[in-house]
Amino acid sequence: MAAATETAGAPQRRFSLSLTLAVCIGSLVVVAVAAVLAVSWFAGLRNTFSFINQNAVSIVHTIESRVRGHLEPAEAQLAFLARQIRAGQLDPSDTDAMVRVLLGALAAAPQVGAVFYWNSDLRRVGVSASPAGVETIIRDDSGDPLVPEVLEQMIAADGPLWGEPIFVPEVGETFLNLRHPVRDGRDQTVGFLVAVVSMRELSGFMSQIGDSFGATAFILYGDSNVLAHPNLTSVHPDLSPEQPTVPVGRVGDLVITSYQSADFEGPFAEASAAGVSIGRIELAGGEVHIAFSGELNKFGTVPWTVGAHLPIDQVNKEVQRIIAAGALGAVLLILSVILAIVIGRLIAKPVARVAVSTSQVGHLELATIKDLPNSRIRELDDQATSFNAMLHGLRWFETYVPKRLVERLIKHGADGHIDSTERELSVLFTDIVGFTAASERMSPRETEEFLNDHFGLLSRCVEDEEGTIDKFIGDALMAFWGAPDDQPDHATRACRAAKAMQTALETDNDRRQSLGLPRVRVRIGVHTDRVIVGNIGAPGRMNYTIVGDGVNTGQRLEGLGKQLDDGSDVVVLVSSATANNVDQRQVQLHQVGHFEVKGKGTSVEVFRLKR
């Protein structure tokens, strides 16, 4: 209500979007002219250290970004494959299908040299790329001591992990390896995926990055080893299973060899605040290099140091060139970009907020959406006002329409119309014992609060099992599973919901008893049958509901609880049709006998849900 009050408050002075842009462009011109006048005064203040600070941060952050962009596609590919297997859209036991999908993953990320899948029996299916072509690998790795260790690691893992570099003697190369657990729909680990990137390939990529800056780019692994360097684009003789990375003294780069002893002291506070270290390295013979580096703690437990180095003469020449010819243009460009960003964010922020809120509306997350604030820009303010009015209307709409039904309609768009059809599903009825007599002792307000609290408890149990609440009938609730979306385990879901209701009601009864209130006793009936489900009603007032003999039987089953009442807070009776379809590992039932049910020509075998 507070947000609504704020939205509907006193109108603020607003400006049109065209006026705002005109003012901003004018401001940009004023800033540019002022900068031209000021540059003559401040150009001399630029010096070598300011250039080094700014460019070091730019170079290191660019290297970090490009390294992430080079390796993170492997994470995206494995995450996609894991989701496909978990959702049942990819069967890992279908070797041909797995090979096709893995080939697609390999093609989508050229930097990845191989992609493998191991199942829980340690059988590997994978594809590997080499200059000779793509090789398909299908192998039993149960004899490899490393594979079971990785499987145990994946069982305990919360997500993908970058492992330590591994040297493969067969190909004479070191590989980075990304491991991703694969789980099924019950969150059980059924295997794991691995993607590998060769150290030679990564070194080639770093060589390209360094060339773009006129520098030598590198990645250090820990304190004393080199993971990627232009000198490692070919096989290195020092690599072995025991030494998968090259020691700094063996990479053939005197600057890297002297990196640990570099002088990192100096006027580099600006770069240091951005997480970048700048070092001055003097080699034998007086040659001086500048090294820029920063930590990258993304790809494994051992920290990476990414950076570049170049001769200090090259830096000095660049500084002189900028001071002589480009200082004015650079300053004007920076100021223009900064001002453009500020203006763009000012205008885009409320538009982006509408986009996010609209996406939440599409997912029916109405309760989490906040009202959009007013804006001084007239068009944006009108947009916020219209959106808030729509949001308030949708919140009322959500109160009266089953959320799962609306989600399906939104998901399928114009094709989301639901035709009436006959299908098997499970229906659940609840009823409060003695509610009529109890309600006579309550005021209308008390009755309303009691029923709202009661139905809130039950509704959460239904929604947790992705059921559809059909209607509330007095003190009774009717829900069903198996529609509008197919749910092959609808009987189990219905019984799990009933069991959750038992727990919730008993817990709430303990609370009521501690407050001196009477315990609430409930009867629940669950039945599985073929019924008609769809849109039923008049053209101007339709209900998505179910009808048929199975519905009546479910309600009669709840009523049968009167005969089998043992004084428990909750009595749950389940028909044999439901009992025959439940997963007995999740739901325990015991038979109570055969009973005549009104409207049925034959007796119904009845089971009781165990706690």
Distance CA 209, CA 60 (A): 11
Distance CA 51, CA 73 (A): 33
pLDDT at 122 over 60: yes
428-461 pLDDT, tens digit each = 999 999 888 888 888 889 888 999 999 999 999 9
- 0.75 surpassed by pTM: no
> What's residue 577's pLDDT?
92
Name the residue with higher pLDDT: 229 or 327.
229
The pLDDT-based confidence of 17 (bands split at 50, 70, 90) is very low
DSSP string, 355-401: HHHHHHHHTT-GGGPPPPPP-SBHHHHHHHHHHHHHHHHHHHHHHHS
pLDDT at 535 over 90: no
Q: Which residue has the tokens 């070598």?
A: 48
Contact between 574 and 589 under an 8 Å Cβ cutoff? The reply is yes
Specify the CATH superfamily of domain 47-302.
PAS domain (3.30.450.20)
Which region holds residue 534: left if phi is over 0, alpha if psi is between -120 and 50, else beta?
left
Helix axes 48-86, 312-321, angle to 10 degrees: 110
pLDDT at 584 over 70: yes
The DSSP letter of residue 44 is G
Distance CA 68, CA 63 (A): 8
Domain chopping of the chain, boundaries = 2-46+320-393, 47-302, 417-609
133-173 pLDDT, tens digit each = 889 999 999 888 888 988 999 888 888 999 899 998 888 89
pLDDT at 496 over 60: yes
Per-chain mean pLDDT for the chain: 81
510-528 pLDDT, tens digit each = 999 999 899 999 999 999 9
351-368 pLDDT, tens digit each = 666 666 666 666 666 666
Tell me the torsion sign for CA atoms 557, 558, 562, 568. positive
pLDDT at 481 over 80: yes
The DSSP letter of residue 577 is H
Q: What are phi and psi of 445, to 5 degrees?
A: -65, -45
> What's residue 501's pLDDT?
93
Task: Please give the helix or strand (H or E) that residue 74 lies within, else none.
Answer: helix 48-86
Contact between 245 and 226 under an 8 Å Cβ cutoff? The reply is yes
DSSP string, 94-137: -HHHHHHHHHHHHHH-TT--EEEEEETT-EEEEEEEETTEEEEE
Distance CA 127, CA 427 (A): 48
Average pLDDT over residues 323-346: 62
pLDDT at 326 over 90: no
Q: Roughly how many angstroms between the first and final C-alpha of the chain, as a whole number?
A: 42
> What's residue 405's pLDDT?
59
Report the Cα 345 to chain-centroid distance in Å.
25
Question: What are the structure tokens assigned to 280, written together?
Answer: 């001055």
The pLDDT-based confidence of 18 (bands split at 50, 70, 90) is very low
In degrees to the nearest 10, what's the CA dihedral of 503, 509, 511, 515?
180
Average pLDDT over residues 218-229: 91
Contacts of the segment 536-541: beta carbons below 8 A, 24+ positions apart:
536/420
Distance CA 84, CA 101 (A): 10
Beta pairing class for 522-538 and 570-575: parallel
The pLDDT-based confidence of 414 (bands split at 50, 70, 90) is very low
Average pLDDT over residues 593-603: 79
Q: Please state, in angstroms and as integers, the Cα–Cα distance from residue 415 to each residue in 69, 238, 362, 481, following that order.
A: 38, 63, 16, 22
Average pLDDT over residues 97-119: 90
Which region holds residue 13: left if phi is over 0, alpha if psi is between -120 and 50, else beta?
beta
CB neighbourhood size of 257 (10 A)? 17
Architecture of the domain defined by 417-609: 2-Layer Sandwich (3.30)
Highest mean pLDDT among 286-290, 330-334, 506-510: 506-510
Highest mean pLDDT among 256-270, 398-412, 557-571: 557-571
Distance CA 34, CA 567 (A): 87
Name the residue with higher pLDDT: 38 or 131.
131
Looking at the chain, the whole-number percentage of residues with pLDDT higher than 90 is: 33
